[in-house]
């Protein structure tokens, strides 16, 4: 694949989920980037020292977002290697490209595309995704696409959230909001299957087997994450993104009318998580899932 290509072919136009990332989630994620990147980085920091990445490798970072992991991978592979960061959201890629321009890295390309349906084949030694695969509308198809993007014997690592019960930083606020508002209906606009769609080890192992991977391993990572500098910051975050944000957004006018009660209930629940001088910190838990494309 030419390293200068910045857009993958769009097959039949953007999916409804890709449109949702661009139209709805992009601005919200940008607003809370300080919380999101900080929290997600705890999980990749635990994983990076173990990654099977070598100098000179060709790497793809699927759902690369603002590009920080792609740039970190680029340091690991060195100038003889290369990294392609692929994301479907233009707003994130604009930031990634601006920040790349501030570095001395010459081996990173950011590409706009739907990684579920369009990746170059046999092009990479290693595929990485930090919280990017759980949004594939058809996860087996998306994972198969990632397997095909690897050379025979190539490896992949993706990080996904574990069970909501082990992720109160995302689930607790949803429980509070559901005391006041109905769950999202069948027709709700979403970002795809959602953050917990790959939480179940047995199901995801099977998906990866069907997608053609071998040597599939799961390793649990637990980390405290900051959900806000203070209670107000945390409430704004919870009502904008994640499962609580989805319930709130979908409830429309009813949510606006009940905002004062919801914010008061959230303030009470969130205030219990306050840690002196650190802000609001809650537990989170992910899987590092590693696998290999068979050597043929």
Ligand X SMILES: C[S@@+](CC[C@H](N)C(=O)[O-])C[C@H]1O[C@@H](n2cnc3c(N)ncnc32)[C@H](O)[C@@H]1O
| Closest distance of CB 176 from ligand X, Å | 22
- Sign of the Cα torsion 111, 36, 292, 54 reads positive
Q: Which of 1, 35, 130, 197 forms a contact with ligand X (CB under 6 A)?
A: 130
Greatest alpha-carbon pair distance for the chain in Å reads 60
Interaction of residue 154 with ligand X, rule CB under 6 A:
no
Identity of the residue, 64 or 156, whose beta carbon is nearer to ligand X in the bound complex:
64
Alpha helices in the chain (DSSP H): 16-20, 26-31, 33-47, 68-77, 90-101, 139-149, 168-177, 201-210, 231-240, 242-250, 253-271
| Nearest-angstrom CA–CA distance, 125 and 149 | 9
Interaction of residue 65 with ligand X, rule CB under 6 A:
yes
Q: Which of 116, 125, 246, 263 forms a contact with ligand X (CB under 6 A)?
A: 116
Interaction of residue 243 with ligand X, rule CB under 6 A:
no
Q: x/- string (CB under 6 A) for ligand X, residues 5-24?
A: ----------------x---
Q: Rg of the chain's alpha carbons, rounded to an integer? A: 19
Q: Which of 37, 141, 221, 240 forms a contact with ligand X (CB under 6 A)?
A: 37
Which residue in the block uniquely carries the two structure tokens 């990479």? Answer: 124
Interaction of residue 115 with ligand X, rule CB under 6 A:
yes
Interaction of residue 208 with ligand X, rule CB under 6 A:
no
Q: Which of 114, 125, 250, 263 forms a contact with ligand X (CB under 6 A)?
A: 114
Interaction of residue 58 with ligand X, rule CB under 6 A:
no
Interaction of residue 110 with ligand X, rule CB under 6 A:
no
**Binding window for ligand X (CB under 6 A); candidates: 58-66, 148-156, 238-246, 250-258:** 58-66
Identity of the residue, 149 or 231, whose beta carbon is nearer to ligand X in the bound complex:
149
| Nearest-angstrom CA–CA distance, 110 and 5 | 9
Of 126, 70, 60, the C-alpha closest to 93 is 70
Of 201, 257, 266, 270, the C-alpha closest to 229 is 270
Helices then strands (H, E): number in the chain?
A: 11, 8
Q: How far from the centroid of its chain's Cα atoms is residue 87's Cα?
A: 10
Burial pattern 208-235, b for ≥16 Cβ within 10 A else e, equals beebbbeebeeeebebebbbbeebebbb
| Closest distance of CB 62 from ligand X, Å | 6
Identity of the residue, 3 or 41, whose beta carbon is nearer to ligand X in the bound complex:
41
Identity of the residue, 116 or 125, whose beta carbon is nearer to ligand X in the bound complex:
116
Residues touching ligand X, count (CB under 6 A): 20
Q: Which of 60, 88, 207, 235 forms a contact with ligand X (CB under 6 A)?
A: 88
| Closest distance of CB 19 from ligand X, Å | 11
- Sign of the Cα torsion 218, 138, 214, 53 reads negative
Identity of the residue, 19 or 261, whose beta carbon is nearer to ligand X in the bound complex:
19
| Closest distance of CB 66 from ligand X, Å | 6
Interaction of residue 228 with ligand X, rule CB under 6 A:
no
Contact status, residue 165 vs residue 171, Cβ threshold 8 Å: yes
Residue numbers of the site for ligand X (CB under 6 A)? 21, 37, 40, 63-66, 86-89, 92, 114-116, 130-132, 135-136
């Amino acid at each position: 694949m030419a390293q200068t290509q910045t857009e993958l072919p769009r097959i039949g136009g953007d999916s409804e989920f890709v449109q949702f990332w661009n139209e709805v989630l992009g601005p919200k994620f940008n607003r809370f980037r300080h919380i999101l990147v900080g929290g997600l980085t705890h999980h990749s920091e635990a994983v990076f020292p173990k990654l099977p990445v070598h100098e000179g490798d060709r790497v793809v970072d699927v759902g690369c977002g603002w590009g920080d992991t792609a740039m970190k991978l680029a340091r690991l592979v060195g100038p003889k290697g290369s990294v392609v960061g692929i994301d479907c959201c233009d707003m994130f890629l604009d930031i990634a490209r601006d920040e790349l321009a501030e570095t001395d890295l010459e081996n990173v390309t950011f590409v706009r595309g739907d990684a579920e349906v369009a990746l170059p084949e046999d092009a990479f030694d290693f595929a990485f995704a930090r919280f990017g695969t759980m949004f594939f509308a058809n996860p087996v198809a998306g994972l198969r696409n990632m397997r095909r993007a690897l050379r025979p014997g190539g490896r992949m690592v993706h990080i996904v959230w574990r069970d909501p019960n082990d992720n109160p930083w995302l689930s607790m606020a949803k429980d509070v909001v559901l005391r006041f508002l109905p769950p999202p209906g069948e027709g709700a606009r979403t970002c795809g299957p959602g953050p917990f769609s790959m939480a179940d080890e047995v199901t995801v192992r099977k998906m990866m087997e069907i997608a053609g991977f071998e040597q599939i391993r799961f390793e649990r990572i637990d980390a405290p994450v900051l959900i806000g500098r203070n209670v107000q910051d945390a409430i704004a975050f919870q009502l904008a993104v994640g499962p609580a944000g989805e319930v709130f957004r979908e409830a429309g006018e009813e949510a606006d009318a009940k905002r004062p009660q919801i914010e008061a209930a959230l303030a009470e629940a969130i205030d219990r998580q306050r840690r002196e001088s650190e802000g609001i910190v809650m537990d989170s838990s992910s899987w590092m899932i590693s696998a290999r494309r068979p050597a043929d």
